Amino acid sequence: MRSSSLATRSAPADRPAPVAPSTACVEIVVPVHNEQVTLAASVRRLHEHLTERFPFAWRIVVANNASTDRTAAVARALADDLPGVALLDLPEKGRGRALRAAWTRSDADVLCYMDVDLSTDLDALLPLVAPLVSGHSELAIGTRLSRSSRVVRGPKREVISRSYNQLLRWTLGARFSDAQCGFKAIRADVARELLPQVRDEAWFFDTELLVLAQREGRRIHEVPVDWVDDPDSRVDIVSTAMEDLRGIVRLLAAARLTRFLAVGVASTLAYVVLFLLLRSPLDAAGANAAALAITAVGNTQANRRFTFAIRGRHELVRQHLAGAIVFVLTLGLTSGALGVLHGLDAAPSRAVELLVLVAASVCATVTRYVALRTWVFAREGRRTVLRRAVGSIARVGL
């Protein structure tokens, strides 16, 4: 068995560096808890498949997490008997914890895992790994929900699986089709960047990893698989579902859009207070402009710090200048709404003025978020042209 470090050839910044197929090392982790009955047969079957049909260097790691039966002894015997098989014995339970421990210790180029029951047809392993070795993708998952997948399982599990993945699409905007299939792979360099961000140590680990990868723009490859349900599965569906729901709520709260909305609510409340304080010494248009100008600075800084997690002073001036241009757009929208109101009623009440202005500000929120995400706090590669435009505006004295 061979192993290698990651290839060092250069690649474009927006694409991962491929690993030479002749030197790629793939590690397949099999997390287990009290699997003394099925472990030996499954590992031997996997070992035979890899030996006869897998073109890359490989190793199998049995990650035993706190088994109370003879699982560890069976795994140790397999490691002694079969070349390329190793045991990682962990004192604490949790599939996510086992995968984190195994992947963190590994020096392989591509890291995989599969369930011990081998419900997924092993012929899908090479299509799962190949896009990661070539550099085409950064993560790969097996999907049982593709039209070309052939799946044998009961209606109860089918409904639960489809409902869960639909929930992920509704709540977290998931664009991957099957978060729970126990058949996944990730490039080692990407794992080193994502694993410190994953908090779950149990069944939600997979979903959290995929959601974080999607939020960072990682390329996720999907492989339709043939899958046969394990009738001996001992997963507690109710407790697992509750843990998954808590994980979804946590990720939803940490989402960039959620943080933006929280900053927006705080900014709106501050705007309302400032507008009411300034309305007596100023007219409605002046109070609106002053309140918006003050809150715009705070809004840009708060979004910089909390929504987009940008620290330090790097490009601080440019970002606030771009935020000022967004402020001008918001000012135009609210001033226009105020002008329409005064055209209909020359002396509206303060409450009506405020209601119209807040409504106009809410309408401007979508534009603000798009501008902040794609322009003000955009990555270097996406904003070159717009940065030049801002520089030109600054030179003429905006």
List the domain boundaries for the chain. Answer: 25-253, 256-395
* pLDDT tens digits, one per residue of 375-391: 777 654 344 334 444 44
Q: What is the DSSP string of 227-287?
A: EE--TT----HHHHHHHHHHHHHHHHHHSHHHHHHHHHHHHHHHHHHHHHHHHTTS-HHHH
Q: What is the pLDDT of residue 237?
A: 67
Say whether pLDDT at 392 is over 70: no
Alpha-carbon torsion 139, 142, 159, 205, what sign? negative
Q: Do 140 and 131 form a contact (C-beta atoms < 8 A)? A: yes
Say whether pLDDT at 33 is over 60: yes
Read off the pLDDT of each residue in 174-197 and give the average, rounded to a whole number: 94
Task: Return the structure tokens found at 171.
Answer: 């709540």
User: Over the chain, what is the mean pLDDT?
Assistant: 84
Edge-first strand listing for the sheet containing 57-65: 85-90, 57-65, 25-32, 110-114, 183-187, 139-143, 220-224
Class of domain 25-253: alpha beta
Beta bridge partners of 63: 31, 88
Q: What is the pLDDT of residue 356?
A: 87
> Which pLDDT band, with edges at 50, 70 and 90, does 235 fall under?
low
* pLDDT tens digits, one per residue of 139-168: 999 999 988 999 888 888 888 889 999 999
Read off the pLDDT of each residue in 94-110 and give the average, rounded to a whole number: 95
DSSP for residue 197: G
Read off the pLDDT of each residue in 25-42 and give the average, rounded to a whole number: 96
114 by DSSP, 3-state: which?
strand
Read off the pLDDT of each residue in 22-34 and give the average, rounded to a whole number: 88
Residues 6+ away with beta carbon under 8 Å from 314: none
Q: pTM, whole model, 2 decimals?
A: 0.69
Question: What end-to-end distance do the CA atoms of the chain give, in Å?
Answer: 65
Read off the pLDDT of each residue in 305-334 and give the average, rounded to a whole number: 80
DSSP for residue 151: E
Q: Do 176 and 221 form a contact (C-beta atoms < 8 A)? A: no
Q: Do 322 and 303 form a contact (C-beta atoms < 8 A)? A: no
Say whether pLDDT at 394 is over 50: no
Least reliable range by pLDDT among 14-23, 265-274, 285-294: 14-23
Say whether pLDDT at 122 is over 90: yes
Say whether pLDDT at 23 is over 50: yes
Give the residue, 238 or 16, on which the prediction is more confident.
238
